[in-house]
Amino acid sequence: MGFQQINKTLIITVLLLHTAIKIISAAEEEPTLELYKTKLGLNYTKKTSGDKILMARLTSRVERKWIGIKNAEVYFYAQVDTTDTLLGKTKTDDNGESVLHISASRILKNYSDDFIFKVKFEGNETYTGAEKELKIRNVEMIISLSEVDSIKTVNIEVYETDSISEKLPLEDVDVYFYVTRLFGLLKIGEGWLINGKSSIEFPNDLPGDTTGNLTIVARIEDNEVYGNVEVRENIDWGIAISHNPGNTARELWTRTAPLWMIISLVSLLSFAWIIYIMLFYNMYRIRKTGSISNNNID
């Protein structure tokens, strides 16, 4: 019995050891590669023309920082009649951003009259996949500009359209007003919608282009229900700025060069050339005295 008991214990020990070695070697042979987790953000903007822009940002947390993943393929979908329809695929740029333009004519609405967008990254050998859904209620924004007794007003009207084409004005939504400048937007005021309407008085001191034209922008920004909606309108309410500096013919003696510069350059060059003339005269003197000396020798 004693011998059998020892034998059993030995066999179990050997089996256990074998299993343990197998597990360890298997773990060594197939190291599990941990993928970086990713996150997708999705942003919606509706433009004046009715075109929509979807912007996705794919990020990953590397060394405790969220960094954009570049060159990743991102798929955009819209839920139309309960099915996901592919809108398009794009690649992310250096910041992990990817943009999709959707034409105004494209039908996106589903049974609930809302837009349901989805963006998807399928993952690769380094990153896990990710997706994000965004539900947006479509609104119409109309801008109108009026001038009464030289008071210029920017008016906004925003409404939803229900299933029987009835206008439903928006309430208590913030609206921001801007004018476009060379490198961005200049804020000129903000308001909120009462019965779907809002207005601001336009300032009189903004510079426009050569004929006073400028572009006024009204926006609903980062709204949870409506996303970003903007309208733009051009009007000559700016101060006309003339950049004509007068006669700027490109010529040597133009007044555009500062006087001190002209004086310095001309004096330096003249100084050198006066010395050259002196040297040439001295060469002439060498030749002249040489001939006299020769005559003397003769």
Partner 1 sequence: MIADNKNPEINNLVVKLLKKTGKKGYYWGFFLLLIVIAGTYALVIQITKGHIVTGMRDNVAWGLYIANFIFFMGLSYASAIISGLLRLFRVSWRRPVIRITDLMTIISAIIGPLYILLCIGRIDRLHHLIVYARIQSPIIWDVFAISTFLIGGIIILYLGLIEDFALLRDNHFIKAGKLRKRLYKLLALRYNKSPEQTKILYNNLDLISALLIPVAIILSTILSWVFGLTLRPGWNSTIFGPYFVFASIYSGIAAIIVALWIFRKAYHLEKYITKVHFIKLGILLLVLSILYGYFTFNEYFSIWYSSEKWDTKLLAKLFDFSQYGWLFIFSNYVGILLPIIVVAVPWLRRINNIAVVSVIVIISLWIKRYIIVVPTLETTLFPIQDTREAWINYSPTWVEWSITIGGVAMICLLFMLVSRLIPIMPLKEALDKEKIGNKNIVPELWDFNK
Binding residues (CB under 8 A) for partner 1: these are 93-94, 250-254, 256-258, 261-262, 265, 268-269, 272-273, 275-276, 278-279, 282-283, 285-287, 289-291, 293-294, 297
Please enumerate in sequence order all residues whose Cβ is within 8 A of that of 238, keeping only pairs 6 or more positions apart, or say none.
179, 206, 207, 208, 209, 212, 213, 214
Q: What is the nearest approach in angstroms of partner 1 to the Cβ of residue 178?
A: 23
For partner 1, give the closer residue by CB, 207 or 290.
Answer: 290
Considering the complex, state which of residue 82 and residue 250 has its C-beta at the smaller distance from partner 1: 250
d(CA 146, CA 177): 15
Nearer to partner 1, 94 or 172 (CB): 94
Phi, psi of 216 (to 5 degrees): -95, 135
User: Residue 270 Cβ, how far from partner 1 at the closest point, in Å?
Assistant: 10
Q: How far apart are CA 121 and CA 131, in angstroms?
A: 6
Angle of CA points 143, 146, 152, to nearest 5°: 110
Q: Compute the half-sphere exposure of residue 163: CA atoms within 13 Å on the CB side of its CA.
A: 5
HEC assignment per residue over 71-135: CCEEEEEEEECCEEEEEEEEECCCCCEEEEEECCCCCCCCCCCEEEEEEEECCCCCECCEEEEEE
163/294 with CB nearer partner 1:
294
Provide, rounded to whole angstroms, the least separation between the CB of residue 92 and partner 1: 12
Q: Which one-letter amino acid corresponds to residue 128?
A: T
Q: Are 79 and 118 in contact (CB under 8 A)?
A: yes
* Least distance CB 213 / partner 1 (angstroms): 27
Cβ at position 109, least distance to partner 1 in Å: 34
CB of 94 to partner 1, least distance (A): 7
Closer of 194 and 277 to partner 1 (Cβ): 277
Nearer to partner 1, 101 or 167 (CB): 101
